[in-house]
């Protein structure tokens, strides 16, 4: 064997029943969660889905979208850009029970897309059974298993080989591992909240991730990011990601093209409502958008953005706003700088994960379900699964976001233990937001150093 060159690839044969069985196992594991929330009392069931349908229903009935609220006791207003109301019209045309099941199925379909992309490096090794020596699996595009930038140097150390997926059970590994990953990600608290509230976040994650990570997209790259941005604004951080990875020293031309496509799509879908529903479009951009309390109580525990954490310090408004702007500038500079570096080094999944965390941390309001980006973070941390330290770190992050850490903080504060409750309770109450800051450091600083020091033996 020549040093630094790829070795043989093992063809892995799978019985036709393997993938249906894997999907059945995922469905069985997710069933308690789905049945619990879809069996909730009607006025507490998928309340955000009800908001989307309300927007579509307002258009069907010719009512002002931003004056229309969901039925009591929720009384929730439509908070999304007007194009989202236009896209919600099909939901409004469905009966409420049908819409619930269709939307819940969509949540799991888009979660499957997200898991497949986020863990592509590990799943790719199982799919091909390829023994790598200095090279990633075919088409992996870099050590993350994502669409690569420059300078990717993935794979095993020269002269060492990875054991191919052989034997009687080799064909079962990929479906089994995918099923395990799906179930594990389903029970992350941000994903559980997708099912509980009928949220759209995992769809937006899947759109942005597919746009960045697809190797040969059948759509113009940037189109999905533009769509996601037009629907919920916060994915607009990926316009910054495309901009900084496409321009400047080392910038890639495909990223520049994707940036222009994303910007064009977002602008087109933003301007379209001014032609179709001009009064609603004006109402959103000049009135509803300027009222952050319209989204809900900004000081609530579920707001885990940096601004939410600062608001819970209950300082005067002026220093709170000033401190928030300073943190936005500092964290944004650090996060985007390292996202660009990760992309140019060939670690696109890391760059996408960092950018997704920016969408949470920099936003004025980021509810716990906005942290659906944790699925991508886990994939970036685990990599191709050969480094046991990275896998253990990913497992620790998974466990942290499975348990309801912020609500423990609320319980500690309610205990009213002198000194302990006010300080510790507030820290724990901000646990997911502080955890997101720690994840930015892990991806930006710890992970590159770990890649440099780890040399796989097999």
Measured distance CA(92)–CA(203) in Å, rounded: 18
pLDDT tens column, 436-453: 999 999 999 999 999 999
Q: pLDDT at position 399, please?
A: 98
Backbone CA torsion sign across 251, 254, 256, 258: negative
- The dihedral region occupied by 261, where left means phi > 0, alpha psi between -120 and 50, and beta the remainder, is alpha
Measured distance CA(204)–CA(105) in Å, rounded: 15
Q: pLDDT at position 74, please?
A: 79
H/E stretch holding 135: none
pLDDT tens column, 93-120: 999 999 999 999 999 999 999 999 999 9
Q: pLDDT at position 144, please?
A: 60
Mean pLDDT of 161-166: 42
- The dihedral region occupied by 270, where left means phi > 0, alpha psi between -120 and 50, and beta the remainder, is alpha
Q: Is the pLDDT of residue 170 over 70?
A: no
458 vs 290: which has the higher pLDDT = 290
Block residue for tokens 């953005």? 305
| Listed residue (203, 201, 150, 181) closest to 348, CA to CA | 150
Measured distance CA(51)–CA(71) in Å, rounded: 10
Q: Is the pLDDT of residue 338 over 90?
A: yes
Q: Is the pLDDT of residue 168 over 80?
A: no
Average model confidence (pLDDT) across the chain: 88
Q: How many residues does the chain have?
A: 458
Mean pLDDT of 248-259: 95
Q: Is the pLDDT of residue 329 over 70?
A: yes
pLDDT tens column, 43-59: 788 999 999 999 999 99
**pTM for the structure as a whole:** 0.89
pLDDT tens column, 399-428: 999 999 999 999 999 988 887 888 899 999
Q: pLDDT at position 149, please?
A: 44
Measured distance CA(445)–CA(342) in Å, rounded: 11
CA dihedral 445, 368, 112, 339 (to 10 degrees): -30
Q: pLDDT at position 10, please?
A: 54
What's the half-sphere exposure (Cβ side, CA atoms, 13 Å) at 374? 31
Mean pLDDT of 186-198: 97
Measured distance CA(371)–CA(188) in Å, rounded: 10
What's the half-sphere exposure (Cβ side, CA atoms, 13 Å) at 75? 2
Q: pLDDT at position 171, please?
A: 66
Measured distance CA(255)–CA(246) in Å, rounded: 4
Block residue for tokens 């009213």? 416
CB 370 within 8 A of CB 359: yes
């Amino acid at each position: 064997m020549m040093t630094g060159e790829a070795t043989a690839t093992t063809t892995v044969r799978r019985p036709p029943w393997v993938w249906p069985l894997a999907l059945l196992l995922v469905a069985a594991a997710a069933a308690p969660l789905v049945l619990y929330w879809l069996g909730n009392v009607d006025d507490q069931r998928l309340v955000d889905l009800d908001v989307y349908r309300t927007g579509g229903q307002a258009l069907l009935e010719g009512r002002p979208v931003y004056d229309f609220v969901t039925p009591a006791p929720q009384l929730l207003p439509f908070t999304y850009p007007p194009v989202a109301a236009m896209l919600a019209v099909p939901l409004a045309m469905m009966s409420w029970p049908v819409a619930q099941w269709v939307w819940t199925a969509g949540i799991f379909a888009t979660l499957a897309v997200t898991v497949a992309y986020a863990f592509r490096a590990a799943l790719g090794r199982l799919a091909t059974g390829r023994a790598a020596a200095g090279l990633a699996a075919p088409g992996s595009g870099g050590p993350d298993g994502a669409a690569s930038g420059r300078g990717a140097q993935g794979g095993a150390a020269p002269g060492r080989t990875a054991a191919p997926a052989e034997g009687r059970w080799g064909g079962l590994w990929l479906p089994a591992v995918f099923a395990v990953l799906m179930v594990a990600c389903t029970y992350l608290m941000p994903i559980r909240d997708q099912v509980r509230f009928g949220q759209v976040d995992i769809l937006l994650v899947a759109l942005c991730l597919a746009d960045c990570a697809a190797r040969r997209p059948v759509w113009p790259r940037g189109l999905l990011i533009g769509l996601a941005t037009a629907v919920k604004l916060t994915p607009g951080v990926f316009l910054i990601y495309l901009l900084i990875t496409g321009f400047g020293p080392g910038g890639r031309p495909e990223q520049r093209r994707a940036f222009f496509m994303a910007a064009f799509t977002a602008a087109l879908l933003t301007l379209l409502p001014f032609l179709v529903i001009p009064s609603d479009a004006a109402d959103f951009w000049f009135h509803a958008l300027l009222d952050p309390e319209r989204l809900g109580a900004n000081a609530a525990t579920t707001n885990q953005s940096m601004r939410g954490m600062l608001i819970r310090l209950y300082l005067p408004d002026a220093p709170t706003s000033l401190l928030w702007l300073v943190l936005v500038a500092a964290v944004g500079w650090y996060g985007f700088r390292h996202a660009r570096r990760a992309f140019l080094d060939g670690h696109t999944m890391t760059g996408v994960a960092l950018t997704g965390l920016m969408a949470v941390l920099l936003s004025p309001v980021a509810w716990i379900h906005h942290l659906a980006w944790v699925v991508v973070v886990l994939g970036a941390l685990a990599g191709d699964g050969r480094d046991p330290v990275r896998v253990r770190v990913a497992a620790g992050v998974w466990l942290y976001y499975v348990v309801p850490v912020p609500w423990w903080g609320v319980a500690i504060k309610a205990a009213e233990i002198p000194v302990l409750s006010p300080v510790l309770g507030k820290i724990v109450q901000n646990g997911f937001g502080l955890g997101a800051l720690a994840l930015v450091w892990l991806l930006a600083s710890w992970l590159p150093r770990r890649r440099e020091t780890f040399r796989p033996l097999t």
